[in-house]
Amino acid sequence: MAKVDYKASAKKVLEEVGGKENIDHIAHCATRLRLNLKIEDNVNDDNLKEIEGIIGVTRAGGQIQLIVGQEVTYLYEEVKQLAEFTDGDQTSQKTESKESSFSVKKVGAKILDGLSGSLTPAIPLIIVAAFFKLIEAVIGPEMLGWASETSDLYVLAQFVGDTTFYFFPIIIGYTSAKKFNASPLMGIFLGSIMLHPTFSQLAEEGSAFSVYGIPTLVQDYSNTLLPIILSVWIMSYVERYFNDTIPGAFKSILAPSLTIVVMLPITLSVLGPAGAILGRSISEGLLGLEGVVGFIGVALVGALFQLLVLTGMHIILIASLIEAFLANGSESFVAPGLAAASFAVGGMCLGAALKLRNKDEKSLAWGYFISMIVAGVSEPGLYGIGIRYKKPMIGMITGGFAGGLYLGIMNSGHFNLIPLTNLLSLLAFTGHTTANLIHGIIGCLIAFGVAALMTYFLTNTKESSPSAKEEMVK
């Protein structure tokens, strides 16, 4: 296949979205170019889909998201350069005073956008933590037994692996500040306040405390997510207010100082405790839901998760999964269903690759399969096979359900938070018993195999001339 000319594609993207003047924010994740537009009503999604290198288009979280795949950074760099955004400023200077009318849909989109923008940049550090937690699990006494719990290597892997999650308020303080257009250093500082040893000791001792005389429910904010996101979101408005109102000669000193003065009671007395309670409620809710629907619930997550990806709603489950994992150190409801759903995409791609007759279409399907298994990128297959040909979606959903059903029955959970969906994601089942790992592998293989077989046998190829675009279904 010819290499995509991303410079030309970037020019067409800008034309279709109304030019660089219409772009408010630009970012990307592992597979998607994410554009926040000032006016998006006139954008034609079908025209965007026709641009070379773009597999699909979806709207979620207040964004237009272009599905590109692993080479998304190439398109991102070209669009960023043409739109004249700098590395440290992917957001325009548009004021936020002209907001359109309130609606539940828009509020939901803002929440999804905020969660996604705060969590996605932190994924590399979660991967680093997962790598060291994996070392701890494999060499420790519960698996290979190469190191005792007091050995230097085991202890090193343990505390390095715990670092990302313990200091989540600082890490997410930075990423959420970038997302909400606040000072990243202020986000880091606010997260650091929440983790200060003095405050943590007060929480451990259950001591009474107040901020400016306001009673404070002291919490341990290590391994938490929502308190800092909520706090930085509010801080972005407070900081912007002081930056806009304080004269230039005093701004550099007074604006950050007064921002923290205002944020201390808001964070420590209101949003921090509220976010911690909300996080615990989400964790307990997942545990309670698992108790009600049991293994069928895991199967349903396996069947439906990729459909949530299409809408962008999957970020809610991801955030819930992280909250539950941070609280309990493991997760056996959403995580195994997600694993089954991911391997089902790989199976769907393999079934399509084996069944398609057109050489170009077959080549693309094999590419999607390799991207899924090696790199853990599911969206090219989801859009390039599932959405394009329709019936393979049945195979994917059936495979995800079957794999999730087995994992649910065996109560196989994730004891290592590995934010990958390739073969290495199977290692998320380490850290507990060997049986947990074995059942995890079997469940994912079931999802993969069932999806591949269903995709192969349920779809039909169409005999046509080499010049005609071949479809799998009629």
Let me know if 29 is a catalytic residue. yes
From the list 162, 218, 179, the residue with the least C-alpha distance to 195 is: 218
Instruction: Show the tokens assigned to 208.
Output: 């009474």
463: Cα within 13 Å, side-chain hemisphere: 0
Neighbours of 22 (CB within 10 A): 18
DSSP classification of residue 47: H
Cβ(410)–Cβ(367) under 8 Å?
A: no
* Contacts (Cβ under 8 Å, ≥6 apart) of 262: 238
CA distances, 366 to each of 1, 381, 390, 394, 415 (Å) = 12, 9, 18, 19, 32
Give the Cα-Cα-Cα angle 468, 473, 474 (nearest 5 degrees): 80
Backbone angles phi, psi at 143, to 5 degrees: -120, -95
Instruction: Show the tokens assigned to 137.
Output: 């699990």
Cβ(377)–Cβ(70) under 8 Å?
A: yes
CA distances, 376 to each of 271, 273, 312 (Å) = 36, 36, 18
Catalytic residue among 7, 12, 29, 77: 29
From the list 138, 168, 123, 137, the residue with the least C-alpha distance to 376 is: 123
Backbone angles phi, psi at 439, to 5 degrees: -65, -35
From the list 60, 35, 61, the residue with the least C-alpha distance to 48 is: 35
Instruction: Show the tokens assigned to 243.
Output: 């930056």
Task: State the helix-helix crossing angle for 359-370 and 334-355, rounded to 10 degrees.
Answer: 160
CA dihedral (305, 310, 313, 319) positive or negative: positive
Strand partners, 414: 331
CA distances, 277 to each of 59, 72, 220, 273, 286 (Å) = 31, 37, 11, 6, 14
What does the alpha-carbon distance between residue 459 and residue 338 come to, in Å, rounded to a whole number?
Answer: 25
Q: Which residues are tagged catalytic? A: 29
